[in-house]
Amino acid sequence: MAKVAIDTSALLALANPRDQYHDRAVRLASRFASEGGRWIGTALVLAELHGHLLHRRGPEPARNVVSSLLHDPAFEWVDASAALLREAIASWLAKYKDQRFSLTDAVTFEIMRRERVAIAFAFDSDFATAGFELLV
CATH number reported for the structural domain that contains residue 109 in this entry: 3.40.50.1010
> Cα–Cα distance between 69 and 92 in angstroms, integer?
27
The whole-number pLDDT of residue 45 equals 98
Averaged over 17-34, what is the pLDDT?
96
> Cα–Cα distance between 78 and 100 in angstroms, integer?
23
Averaged over 128-135, what is the pLDDT?
97
* 39: CB partners within 8 A, 6+ apart: 3, 4, 5, 6, 74, 75, 76, 121
| Average of per-residue pLDDT values in the chain | 96
> Cα–Cα distance between 76 and 69 in angstroms, integer?
9
Averaged over 106-111, what is the pLDDT?
98
pTM for the model stands at: 0.93
The whole-number pLDDT of residue 1 equals 55
Averaged over 24-30, what is the pLDDT?
97
The whole-number pLDDT of residue 2 equals 87
**Model confidence pLDDT, tens digit, residues 46-94:** 999 999 999 999 999 999 999 999 999 999 999 999 999 999 999 999 9
Give the residue numbers spanning the domain of 119: 3-134
Residue 29 has pLDDT above 70, yes or no: yes
**pLDDT band for position 31 (cuts 50, 70, 90):** very high
> Cα–Cα distance between 53 and 115 in angstroms, integer?
28
The whole-number pLDDT of residue 95 equals 95
The structural domain count of the chain equals 1
